[in-house]
Every structure is written in C-alpha cells, then in structure tokens.
Chains A and B, each alone.
Chain A
Amino acid sequence: MGRVNVYLRENGYRIAGRVYLFLGFIFLLLPIAFLVLFSFQENVYSSLPLQGWSLKWYDKLIDDGVLFDALLNSLYVSPVAATCASIIGFLAAYALNRFVFPGRILTATILILPILIPPLILGVSMLGLLSRLGLHGELYSIILAHTLLLTAPAMAIIQLRLAQMPPTLEEAAWDLGASELQTVWRVVLPWALPGIVGGWLLAFTFSFDEFIIAWFVSGFDQTLPVAVYSVMIASHDTSLNAIGTIVFGLLLLTLLGAELLIIPLFMRRRAR
C-alpha cells in the first residue's frame, strides 16, 4: 500500500472510508441482488418475507414467450448493430488517427456527438426520417438507428488502442514492402484487435440496454427493453425477475470480456 494511503493513514478516516465504501457498494449492487433472489422465490408479489425457492418464474417466462422472443430479437439486433458500429468506428478511428485533413477536428467532434445527444431526441428524429423513407417499424430500423448511437463509443475505445500504436509500426510494414491496404490488414488490425473487441462489447451492451430509440422506431417485433417496458406498465409480472437474472448472466460474460480488454486501455500510457 505504502504511498497510496498516505492521505488516509489514520484509523478514523480509514474506517469511515471503508464503511462508506461498504454502504456505497450495497446501494450499487442491491437491485441486482434482489432481482436474482426474487427470480428464485415463490412470492407472487416480489417483496419480503421470502416464501421459499422455486423455478416457476422461469417456466412462466418460457410459456409466455413474449419476453423470450424479445430477448431473441435483441440477440439479433445488438450483435449486428455492434458489428456495423465497430466497422464504421474502426474506419473513422484510423482515419482520424493517421490523416490530417481540413475539418478534422470538426469531423471528430461530430462523430462523437451522438453520445452527448439524448437518445430521446435521436429516437424522435430517427423515426421522423425512417418513417419518411418507409424504413420504420422493423428490426432493421433499430439496427440502422443503433449503429449511429454505438459508433461513437466503439470508435472512442478503438481510438484509445490506436493511439498507443507506435507510428513506426506502420512505417516498418511499408518499408518491408507492404502496401497501405496490406499494412492496415496485417499490422493495424491485429494491433487494434483488443480495442475493436472491447469497443464491440461496449457497443453490444449499449444496444442491448437501449430503450427509447428502439421504442420509437420499432414495430411489432420489439427488443428486450421495449418488451420489458410493455410488460411493466401493464401489470406486475414477477417473471421479469427471471429475465433480469438471465440478462445479467449474459451481460456478465461481456463484462468479463470488457474487463479483460477495455480497462487495460485506460491504465496504459502511450508506448513510444
């Protein structure tokens, strides 16, 4: 520990700090804990006291089918949108990293802007355009809209990785006789791969969790958050706990990937 804890070396502060950490993490993790807990309980109305263990909500989930179908829709929409966003994001990140051109800063700003604009606004404007073009109300409408939302985060993560690439790496490939395209394919892409995968996972998560854009542009085929919303405003359905647990388990796997790929990008300085 050494130097790190100089500021709070004394016991009073450290104990206070640890108590705060404990309470803070309870707040952060409590909803997930209850979601998982209630999904395995008999309770029809999910509250205390507990009434015993059961898997009936998972059965109901499969019997009802609505949420399950929505989950499958999401598992189609999100990977496709994340893939499109990662491809566009990589192209943009590479161009911004390597080329100097008039309007470069403006381009970089516009490319990152969708993160800062409320998805509600994106949703309304996307619906306005897509309905005009007759492209709304389908699953691919969501993909088209989500790709825009996801390009910026995917690009940002890939840019982090590309910024760490020593510029001589590309030069070395050219010097050895590789054309520019060969260099991108055989040197830049392998180098950027952790960033691309990390960006993809982040994009996937964003898309999988996105509600309002999908709500505006989708039709009868809904993604999971939209379907969950429909169920939630209709009645209290305890099988929501079950789908929540499944989604959490699913996303935990992407978290594992992201933890291995994204966080190191923030920790490392540019290698030169």
Chain B
Amino acid sequence: MVHESESALGGGTVADLEVRGIAKRFGPVVAIERVDIDVQRGEFVAVMGPSGCGKTTLLRIIAGLERADEGTLLLRGDDISDVPVHKRSTRLIWQDYSLFPFLNVRKNIEFGLTLKRHDKKAVRSKVEAVAEQVHLGHLLSRRIGQLSGGEKQRVAIARALVTEPEILLLDEPLSSLDAHLRIKVQSELTVLQRELGISFIYVTHNQSEAFAMADRVVVMNKGVVEQVGRPAQIYNRPASHFVAEFVGANNIFEGRVAETAEGTVVVDCSHGAVRIAGHRNEIERGAAVELVVQADKLRRRHDGEDGQNTIRAVLKGREFTGSQVIYYLETAQGVEVKMVLQEPFTEGEGTEINTEMELCWAPEDTVILGHRDAGLP
C-alpha cells in the first residue's frame, strides 16, 4: 500500500470519512482484507478495481448495508460503525438506480423527506429546488417507467440529495448508460459535485471514468488497496505490478539491478540494459525488479538518436482504435511489447507484419516497481 498524496490534500482538518482497517469475509471468502482510506471534505474519490476486488462491498459497508468484521468508520470524526443504515447520513446511488417503480418522480424524490413529521410546503419547495438543480423540473409527474436511463439516474441523485447527505456513494452509476451519454453525464456529475461541495465516493471498474472525474483514485485488488493517488500519479507512477497492468497499456520488463549511481539505475533485462533516471529510493545491486514503461512513451528509433533506452522487436500485429494505433511486438527473447502511437506509420516505412524494428524511450519514462525479491523467479 502506498499513500503518496495524503499530506498534499489533508491539510490537517478532520476528514469527512475515515475508513480504518475495515475487513469483511463472506463465509470462507475474503471480500476485503484490510482497507484504510481517508476522504477529505468535498473530495471526489474514485475506487477502482476489477470485479470482485471488494470495491462494492466497501461501498456497502460505508452505507451501512453490510457490517464489517473488523475496523471502524469515522464520519466527520464520529464513529458510525454501529449506526444502522437508516440512521447514517450517507446516501448510495445504485447501478440500476433502485427507483420505486410504483411512485412517480416527485414521490420518489420526496421519499426520504416524508419519513418523519414534515411540512408539506417545505418538502414541496425543496423537492422542486433539487429537481431544478438536476434538470428534472419538467418531469416531476412522470412515471418511472417512462424515463430514459439518464433521467432515471438524475432522479436517483435528486432522491439522495434532497436529504442533504454528508457523503454521496455511487456504485458504477454510469455502467447502464449508453456510451455517448456517459461522457456527458461524467461532466455533469463533476460539475454537480463542485457545486454541492460534498464528498463523492465513486466505485467503478472503468479507469477513464475514474481518471476523468476523481480528485484521487484508490486502486483495489483482491480486497486490498494497491495504490492511492491523483489520477496522473497512478497513471505515470504505478506502485505495483497489479496497478501497472490494470491501468493503461503498460510494458512490464523484468530484470536485475546492475548499477546504481546518483539518481540513475541500470537494470539488466532479457533484451539488454535499461537506464532509469530519477529513481529516488534506495535500491540494492543484484535485486530483481520490474520496470514499467507506458506504451505511449515508446516510439520508433531514428538513426543517430542517443541517450535513449532501446529495444529490438518484431511487429506481430496492430489495432486501429480511431484516435490511436496500438502495435503489438515481440522481442527475440519472447517478451511482448506494446507501443501506442497517435498517428499510424506511413506506408512504405518497412512496417509490414514480421519486420523487425528498433524502439526507444527516455530513461525518465521508466518506473521501477517496488522490488519484491521473492516475487520474481
């Protein structure tokens, strides 16, 4: 676990939510091994990981729908671990929104306000204000069945917001929307969160959503937090093998440390030596390490370029994704290499499948993962 940016955003105030050593098992299955996360006031935190990594369970524990086996939850400094779900000031937005199908939009939104003694006029004006905020004003008398996916989501958000939660929890809220709607809703959500100034905890398996919206990203795997950091940090400086593989298109090379000198490390890999600049941590000679090089940092080497790391590999395939082209290559030693270019090669550059080419990247663009001697063969 690496928390790189806590001091940068903490600022010494009481955090909105502190997750302390939360663990959860379902019978023999460990859903969450141990998780610590701090969420600052007004922060947009994305919890990202593959399905089954425990992210949804974590969200449900925060909401109070599941009970953690161990650990405590502090909401603005108060221990809420034993507070039942209906008495917590957190609100959850479900993937399928869970609207009440037998109530219309207005009745859905006012649900949370009508559970106790209430002033009908005040409720009415509050519902209308919130509906206006999420652009639902004209749909208040609609039935749920008549709404589109995007509208349903806005009803779910309005239904939660009208109760003035301290934290909004969102469980993959975009996954049931069309692709073109998602981008729009992404920006709407970010704007809304800034306006409201309350914290969002947003669970997703989609890294582009997480990176586009979040102030900080928590990467989880198998019930453990792998890395916490700002999107750029996670992307450029993955802290573990898992993060490097899960985030973006990264090349991972295995090797042993051959030399260490002032800020520069040389690692022997199967295809040759790799120089790393700007590595700050202590590292021993002879240690087995993994190197991460982002696929979009690689390019084709031109004659006369020096001072770069190089690798020779044979082109095996390519994939045109619209905005970029992904090239799949393989070295003589059988290591796979991925290269992403914004523009495809021009014709006649000797770029047919099975041609060998030399690629290069800058020493500064190489990241050494936390070396795990035992973990490598």
The judgment on whether A and B are partners is: yes
Where the two chains meet, the residues of A that have a C-beta atom closer than 8 Å to any C-beta of B are 166, 168-169, 171-179, 182, 186-187, 190-191, 193
A172 cross-chain contacts in B, Cβ below 8 A: 92, 94, 98-100
A193 to B102 Cα, complex, angstroms = 10
A-contacting residues, B146-189, CB 8 Å: 159-160, 163
A175 to B94 Cα, complex, angstroms = 11
A-contacting residues, B119-159, CB 8 Å: 159
Shortest Cβ distance from A176 into B: residue: B112
Chain B interface secondary structure, helix, strand, loop or mixed?
loop
- A176 touching B163 by the CB < 8 A rule? yes
Shortest Cβ distance from A175 into B: residue: B92
Residue of A174, A182, A187, A190 near B85 (CB, 8 A) is: A174
How many whole Å from A211's CB to the nearest CB in chain B?
Answer: 38
- A187 touching B100 by the CB < 8 A rule? yes
A175 to B87 Cα, complex, angstroms = 8
A177 to B101 Cα, complex, angstroms = 18
A160 to B375 Cα, complex, angstroms = 52
- A177 touching B65 by the CB < 8 A rule? no
Shortest Cβ distance from B114 into A: residue: A186
How many whole Å from A95's CB to the nearest CB in chain B?
Answer: 20
List 8 A-B pairs, minimum CB-CB distance, nearest first. Answer: A176-B112, A172-B98, A168-B98, A190-B102, A174-B85, A174-B86, A175-B92, A177-B86
Proximity string of chain B (85-119) to chain A, C-beta cutoff 8 Å, 1 when within and 0 when not: 11100111010101111110000000110010000
Number of CB contacts from chain A to chain B under 8 A: 60
A35 to B100 Cα, complex, angstroms = 47
A140 to B104 Cα, complex, angstroms = 42
Shortest Cβ distance from A178 into B: residue: B115
B213 interface hit (Cβ, 8 Å): no
- A176 touching B96 by the CB < 8 A rule? no
A175 cross-chain contacts in B, Cβ below 8 A: 63-65, 85-86, 90-92
B91 cross-chain contacts in A, Cβ below 8 A: 175-176
Shortest Cβ distance from B101 into A: residue: A191
Residue of A166, A173, A178, A186 near B96 (CB, 8 A) is: A166
- A177 touching B94 by the CB < 8 A rule? no
Residue of A168, A174, A187, A193 near B94 (CB, 8 A) is: A168
- A177 touching B98 by the CB < 8 A rule? no
Residue of B90, B98, B160 near A169 (CB, 8 A) is: B98
Chain A interface secondary structure, helix, strand, loop or mixed?
helix
- A176 touching B65 by the CB < 8 A rule? no
A186 to B99 Cα, complex, angstroms = 13
Complex A-B: 18 CB contacts under 8 Å:
A168-B94, A168-B96, A171-B92, A172-B99, A174-B64, A174-B65, A175-B65, A175-B85, A175-B86, A176-B112, A177-B86, A177-B112, A178-B86, A178-B112, A179-B86, A179-B115, A190-B100, A190-B102
A78 to B114 Cα, complex, angstroms = 37
A173 to B90 Cα, complex, angstroms = 13
Given contacts A178-B115, A179-B115, 11 further A-B pairs with CB under 8 A are A168-B94, A168-B98, A171-B92, A173-B100, A175-B85, A176-B86, A176-B163, A177-B115, A179-B86, A191-B101, A191-B102
Shortest Cβ distance from A183 into B: residue: B86
B112 cross-chain contacts in A, Cβ below 8 A: 176-178
Residue of B96, B100, B102, B163 near A177 (CB, 8 A) is: B163
A187 to B96 Cα, complex, angstroms = 17
A179 to B86 Cα, complex, angstroms = 6
B100 cross-chain contacts in A, Cβ below 8 A: 169, 172-173, 187, 190
B86 cross-chain contacts in A, Cβ below 8 A: 174-179
A177 to B99 Cα, complex, angstroms = 15
Shortest Cβ distance from A169 into B: residue: B98
A171 cross-chain contacts in B, Cβ below 8 A: 65, 85, 92, 94, 98
A212 to B332 Cα, complex, angstroms = 88
Do A176 and B115 form a contact, CB below 8 Å, given A166-B96, A168-B94, A171-B65? yes
A266 to B225 Cα, complex, angstroms = 45
A187 cross-chain contacts in B, Cβ below 8 A: 100
B102 cross-chain contacts in A, Cβ below 8 A: 190-191, 193
How many whole Å from B353's CB to the nearest CB in chain A?
Answer: 44
